[in-house]
Amino acid sequence: MSKYLILIYQDDDAAQSEGETVNPAYREFMERRADSLLGGAALESPASGTSIRHDHDGRVVVTDGLFTESKEVIGGYFLVEAADLDEALAIASEVPAGAGVEVRPVRLVS
């Protein structure tokens, strides 16, 4: 079995906080795929993000906002376990995401 991270993208302006209850579509997905889900969360709005970079002298520079400017932003993620990419893609295609999702294999390190 391998682990995959499903990154959920939303349009920047749609990615507002939706309150404190889980969207029913997500609840249904999480119940259906409970056996494969290792973790996951929805994120607060992009406006609440803070980025950290290092300047030329290696000093930490903290700035307001997201790391990369883009029309789509990450709104949440799931960590799943799957036999192979096909299974991970089958799970990811059921995520009720706004703009779409990206599936990344998690690197194995010992």
* Interface pick for another protein out of 89, 94, 99, 102 (rule CB under 8 A): 89
| 44 lines the binding site for another protein (CB under 8 A) | no
Contact between 82 and another protein by CB under 8 A: the answer reads yes
Consecutive H or E run containing 7:
strand 2-11
- How far is residue 23 from each of residues 71, 77, 82, 108, measured CA to CA in Å? 23, 14, 24, 32
Tokens standing for residue 29 = 């997905």
- Of the residues 14, 22, 25, 85, which one makes contact with another protein according to CB under 8 A: 85
Q: List the interface residues with another protein, window 3-32 (CB under 8 A).
A: 4
Q: How far apart are CA 40 and CA 56, in angstroms?
A: 35
Q: Which residues bind another protein (CB under 8 A)?
A: 2, 4, 82-86, 88-90, 105, 107-108, 110
